Structure 1
Amino acid sequence: MSVSLPRTGPRGRLLAGAALLVLALTACSSGGGTSAEDAPDAKVTLTVNLFSDFGYADLYKQYEQLHPNVTIKENRADLGAHHQNLHAHLLAGSGTADVEAIEIGQVAGFQPDAGKFLNFLDNGVSKDQWVPSKTAPASSPDGKVLFGLGTDMGGMALCYRSDLFKAAGLPTDRDQVAALMKDWPSYLAAGKQFLAASPNKDVRWFDSGGNLFSAVVAQAPVGFYDASGKVVVTDNPAVKQSFDLVAGAIKDGESAGVQAFTPAWDTGFQKSQFATVACPAWMSYEFKANPPADGGTWDIARIPGGGGNWGGSYLTVPKSGKHTKAAAELAKWLTAPEQEARLFKEKGYFPSDQALWTQPDIAGHTDPLFNDAPTGKIFSQSARDLAPQPLGAHGAEIGTALGNALTSVEQGKADAAAAWKQALKDIDNIVG
């Protein structure tokens, strides 16, 4: 499941309003109703609307070399605006790009519109390429329409600063780290040990309450929605327990209080303001982009509590696009095993194509960014241990509301009880 606080780096950095305007203008020019398909050798410009950097730049070049008649134009917008635009364009029956991305926290909201997208099951695609937890959210309720092709998955792990652990007398070996922090209470207990023993009293245990909450609640069997599609935030004790667990850690001084996916968060990486981060596979960009100024080293271990998924996306082809046949071929190629494997090895985006998880070049992949940790093994195991949660149309906004509430606790604007109460009011407004 994706508990969608605004994501950054390659998977959700908020863009300026000017970029949003460019998206709106370009998207409107690329839609306007389905036209006759071009001849195989006709010149075609395919537009791709994304909400972040999916790492496709080099793949576009390769595809254009393989298909000299195709030119690809990519547009990006803020995650929320991107999905709002897509909803509006589907309603209008025009204005969509040829290929539109949908984030996993948003995809349930498009299930009622499954018929407005190309059905990949009628275009040479088998659901067997992905695990059911990946295909079900991007399928019609009866399973007869697959309107989204899985890109990456957000298999989770724990990233930690081995040098800061050593200075505080904590184990640095990743297997020993995983054994010490088998679940979230033991993880926070280790945080108290770290704060008591660390020679640098400016370093906190984790980066932000909202970020940690996203990881903790993602492991619950049921999150914000039940299997019937009902919002169960107030009825599901796992949500409140996750919130209280994180709020308690904030009170104990374990959070650096730097809101995730902001410039201050980047600075937190660079200035070594926190020792651990709950990190899905796609977050590796942040570590590459913001190396510690003190030369410290990151490592990676199993996530406390076992498996889990935070994030991941889909590529869709709206029927209102100009070049649906050519767009479908591009979407299938971008999500094919060869391309997904390349994106993992080059960008760190863990593939949702399940056949890749056992291939030697993926399962045995190591990453020098994390002290040559076996990231392929770690993320593969996390994906296998995943117990998928039911998703709902407003899951992303609900996650944001709860993350904002924890930020208010970190900033001293509210205590945990008041923040929870405000979050419930915000959620009521979101779901109507």
Structure 2
Amino acid sequence: MRHHASHGVRVAAGAAVIALTASGCGGGSSDSANGGTVTLTVTTHVDYGYRNLYKEFEKTHPGIKVKEVLVEDLPKKLVTQLAANRGAADVVGVGDDIIGKFKPSHERFLNLADHGVNNTDDPWVQWAYDAGTVEDGKFVMGLRTDIGGLGICYRTDLFKKAGLPTEPEKVAELWPTWDDFTATGEKFSKKVKNASFTANTGDIWVGMGNQHKETFFAESDDSFIADKNTELKQDFLTAANMSVRKVSGGYPPFSPEMANALKTGKAATAVCPAWKLDRTKEASGPDNAGKWSVAAAPEGGNWGGSYLMVPKQTKHPKEAVELARWLTSSKTQKQLFLDEGYLSSHPKVYNDPEVQAKKDPYFSNAPTGKIFAQAADSMEPIYRGTKDSDVASAFMNALLRVEQGKQKPEAAWDQAIEDAKKVAG
């Protein structure tokens, strides 16, 4: 099971699955009994789907062993490890919404530019590369793993029942904007009474937020601007009104209730970046194969992706950088997409004919490679504030209150702003 998430919506990936604990998060070591084998520890907050890649790296790099550790509250633990200058892994992975938290202390990580990393030799898409840098790009603190792209998973059987088209291109034409998405949902609800049009508003809010250059904080000085960001407020009201207008089912993101809704046909659509397809398959089960498809999301965008960083305290900087660079190279990322479905952050990969041609049988052979690549390619850089992930929950909680009928959209927004200001300082 693999999960990526952003804007505070993160999921436990089950650190116990790997039977390693946070206490085992120390940096790499040399095992003299094994002829000087270097052991590199990689710590992430969720499963990146790298297990087979680690084995391949070990085969092609004799003398290096890789140990994977999943730590659900990694950001909090990493802050402590950096401050103490001990205990951090050799390579650390954090979500694209979390890396901003560590930019003020970037000097505690290796500047990967000093180790030959640039965006020329094997380039990432520029916006994803830039978000992993500081000091006007001179200091490269993180290497981009995957990107999400953005799509909408939808039930073809329920769309037929509602008299809506089912082909991905025609479905995308229904909703060039999120307002059109809501209007389509209202048409759906008139025809189909035993299913909600979409699963929840929280996922939609995250997708919307990733379509702006700034959300909660200003790029110029990292000041809190959500209360002045009229586009952000309009997004919030659009999402919240999906609950008021009975378009959303109110199944909380990443919850058992949402999984059950997807499996039993209680929700006709769900927001789907590339990494979420497997989760949707898993929730829906094999009996629903061919009942789902994927279309482009309103207004494009991206959701998800992470960065690999190398703490300066590592005892094996050369090997750690080599591993991080190998895992995020275009060659490795192409393999990861074809094998596991993670969308590469390298244009040469997501524009590759083999990637563009990929179709998913479970999702009615929808051209998933093409859909997600087009969404990601249209992206502009998003500024992630240093406290982005800290304030995000205030807005998610506000949407939940509207879905539960406890507040109206305007009042929920006002409270979210007040709650966020307390965290933002």
Q: Answer yes or no: same fold by TM over 0.5.
A: yes
Structure 2 residue 3 is matched with structure 1 residue 6: no
* Pick aligned residue for 1:232 from 225, 228, 233: 225
Point out where structure 1 has 5 or more consecutive residues left out of the alignment.
none
Equivalent residues of 1:3, 1:400 under 8 A apart: no
* Deviations, residues 293-328 of structure 1 (Å, cap 9, x unaligned): 7636111111112x2111110111111122222111
For residue 99 of structure 1, what is the aligned residue in structure 2?
91
Equivalent residues of 1:162, 1:298 under 8 A apart: yes
Structure 2 residue 58 is matched with structure 1 residue 60: no
User: What's the CA shift for 1:413?
Assistant: 2.5
Point out where structure 2 has 5 or more consecutive residues left out of the alignment.
none
For residue 417 of structure 2, what is the aligned residue in structure 1?
424
User: What's the CA shift for 1:52?
Assistant: 0.6
Task: Report SS of the residue matched to 1:5.
Answer: coil
Q: What amino acid maps onto 1:388 in structure 2?
A: P
* Deviations, residues 323-371 of structure 1 (Å, cap 9, x unaligned): 2221111111111112111111222211111221221111222221221
Q: What amino acid maps onto 1:234 in structure 2?
A: D
Which stretch of the first structure deviates more once superposed, 250-259 or 410-419? 410-419
Equivalent residues of 2:333, 2:344 under 8 A apart: yes
Which stretch of the first structure deviates more once superposed, 105-114 or 161-170? 105-114
Please list, as runs of the form range in 1=range in 2, the aligned pairs for 1:190-201 lying within 5 A after superposition: 190-198=184-192, 201=193
Task: Report SS of the residue matched to 1:290.
Answer: helix
TM-score, normalised relative to structure 1: 0.91
Structure 2 residue 162 is matched with structure 1 residue 168: yes
Equivalent residues of 2:111, 2:140 under 8 A apart: yes
For residue 211 of structure 2, what is the aligned residue in structure 1?
219
Q: What amino acid maps onto 2:173 in structure 1?
A: A
Task: Report SS of the residue matched to 1:155.
Answer: coil
Q: What amino acid maps onto 1:220 in structure 2?
A: H
Q: What amino acid maps onto 2:406 in structure 1?
A: K
For the aligned residues, what is the CA RMSD? Answer: 2.4
User: What's the CA shift for 1:20?
Assistant: 12
Please list, as runs of the form range in 1=range in 2, the aligned pairs for 1:393-404 lying within 5 A after superposition: 393-404=386-397
Task: Report SS of the residue matched to 1:372.
Answer: coil
Structure 2 residue 71 is matched with structure 1 residue 77: yes
Determine the C-alpha separation between the residues in 2 that align with 1:111 and 1:402: 23
Equivalent residues of 1:149, 1:332 under 8 A apart: yes
* Identical aligned residues as a percent: 36
Number of residue equivalences: 417
Determine the C-alpha separation between the residues in 2 that align with 1:127 and 1:218: 23
Residue 394 and residue 350 in structure 1: after superposition, are their counterparts in 2 closer, same or farther (change >3 A)?
A: same
Task: Report SS of the residue matched to 1:54.
Answer: coil
* Deviations, residues 92-141 of structure 1 (Å, cap 9, x unaligned): 11110011002110111211222221222222322231122112221122
Determine the C-alpha separation between the residues in 2 that align with 1:353 and 1:419: 39
Q: What amino acid maps onto 1:124 in structure 2?
A: G
TM-score, normalised relative to structure 2: 0.92
Task: Report SS of the residue matched to 1:46.
Answer: strand
* Deviations, residues 255-275 of structure 1 (Å, cap 9, x unaligned): 111110122221121112211
Residue 6 and residue 19 in structure 1: after superposition, are their counterparts in 2 closer, same or farther (change >3 A)?
A: farther
Structure 2 residue 293 is matched with structure 1 residue 299: yes
Task: Report SS of the residue matched to 2:307.
Answer: strand
Structure 2 residue 260 is matched with structure 1 residue 267: yes
Residue 186 and residue 142 in structure 1: after superposition, are their counterparts in 2 closer, same or farther (change >3 A)?
A: closer
Determine the C-alpha separation between the residues in 2 that align with 1:292 and 1:188: 27
Equivalent residues of 2:147, 2:302 under 8 A apart: yes
Q: What amino acid maps onto 2:304 in structure 1?
A: G
Residue 20 and residue 420 in structure 1: after superposition, are their counterparts in 2 closer, same or farther (change >3 A)?
A: farther
Equivalent residues of 1:209, 1:257 under 8 A apart: yes
